[in-house]
């Protein structure tokens, strides 16, 4: 890994994190020990104490006036996803963010590789046209464009593959015996361990390149049933049942993920920032999860 938070000046280490969720918390865990002030918004009062316990200043938002906090920040991270009404941050704070944009050193928007749509297992990169196959993906395309339209905003877009990591992976279902290997011919997904997202964000913050768009995924796209099968193998339990996608009992949300099949390239961020995933494939990522939380 090249680049570090040592590039940051002491007086310029305030980050406001909108929708302070799973990936943002992994970034905060890297930055807080380095003396960063991180302000994390949440819509849930129940999560305030949990966020505070990580050294992040929790703010209930919408519902709190955060003008002063915005003015104090040099870095901006947006994890909050769009809804049918558009981007939830810009819906409320577009004017304020437009005013503050020129003084920001870095802004990051966490998007999804779902913006590329279905490519029937073929490779995609950041230059691939955006042809989302789901409503969720279309909303992300629109949100990306809305953030890109803000003048003088030092925006960096990160298109994330399927995120996994501590507390978010296949082991719980495999242990419970509720996991299934859903089989759909030709289906392949790209993934990313949450620690590799955090590493990439920290590198980008230290080496801003306004306007950059990066895919974040590991080096080994794989069929979903292989991941479930490997998790069972690591746990030493029988392989979960194989079920054909066409006849599987799945929620509409779960089924929608199978509407897209593609392999995502990550060359751009490797070349630009020297990023290398600590977990280049699901096997190394799952092994680490099991080692740290057996």
DSSP state of 46: G
pTM confidence score = 0.94
CB-CB contact of 274 with 213 (8 Å): no
Tell me how far the alpha carbon of residue 292 is from its chain's centroid.
Answer: 21
For range 85-105, the mean pLDDT: 96
84, 139 contact by CB (below 8 A): yes
% the chain with pLDDT above 70 = 96
* H/E element, 50: helix 48-52
Give the domains, in start order, of the chain with CATH numbers.
5-164+192-218+265-278 (3.40.50.720)
Q: Which residues pair with 158 in a beta bridge?
A: 110, 214
Is residue 6 scored above 80 in pLDDT?
A: no
pLDDT in tens, 118-148: 999 999 999 999 999 889 999 999 999 999 9
Within 10 angstroms of residue 63's Cβ, the number of other Cβ atoms is 10
Read off the pLDDT of residues 223-281 as tens digits, 9 standing for 90 and up.
999 999 999 999 999 999 999 999 999 998 888 889 899 999 999 999 999 999 999 99
The pLDDT value given to residue 2:
41
| pLDDT score, position 255 | 87
Structure confidence by residue, pLDDT tens digits, 143-171: 999 999 999 999 999 999 999 999 999 99
The pLDDT of residue 4 is 44
């Amino acid at each position: 890994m090249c680049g570090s938070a040592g590039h940051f000046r002491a007086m310029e280490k305030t980050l406001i994190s909108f929708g302070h969720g799973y990936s943002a918390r992994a970034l905060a865990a890297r930055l807080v020990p380095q003396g960063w002030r991180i302000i994390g918004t949440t819509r849930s009062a129940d999560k305030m104490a949990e966020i505070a316990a990580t050294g992040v200043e929790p703010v209930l938002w919408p519902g709190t006036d955060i003008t002063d906090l915005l003015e104090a920040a040099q870095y901006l991270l947006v994890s909050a996803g769009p809804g049918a009404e558009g981007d939830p941050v810009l819906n409320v704070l577009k004017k304020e963010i437009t005013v503050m944009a020129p003084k920001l050193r870095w802004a990051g928007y966490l998007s999804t590789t779902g913006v590329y749509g279905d490519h029937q297992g073929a490779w995609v990169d950041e230059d691939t046209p955006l042809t989302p196959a789901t409503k969720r993906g279309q909303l992300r395309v629109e949100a990306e464009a809305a953030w890109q339209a803000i003048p003088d905003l030092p925006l960096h877009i990160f298109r994330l593959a399927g995120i996994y990591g501590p507390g978010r992976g296949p082991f719980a279902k495999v242990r419970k015996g509720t996991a299934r290997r859903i089989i759909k011919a030709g289906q392949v997904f790209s993934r990313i361990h949450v620690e590799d997202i955090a590493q990439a964000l920290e590198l980008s913050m230290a080496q801003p390149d306004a306007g950059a768009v990066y895919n974040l995924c590991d080096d080994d796209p794989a069929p979903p049933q292989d991941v479930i099968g490997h998790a069972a193998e690591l746990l030493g339990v029988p392989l979960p049942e194989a079920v054909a996608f066409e006849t599987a009992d799945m929620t509409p949300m779960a089924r929608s993920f199978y509407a897209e099949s593609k392999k995502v390239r990550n060359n751009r961020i490797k070349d630009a920032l020297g990023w290398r995933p600590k977990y280049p494939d699901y096997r190394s990522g799952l092994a680490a999860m099991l080692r740290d939380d057996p």
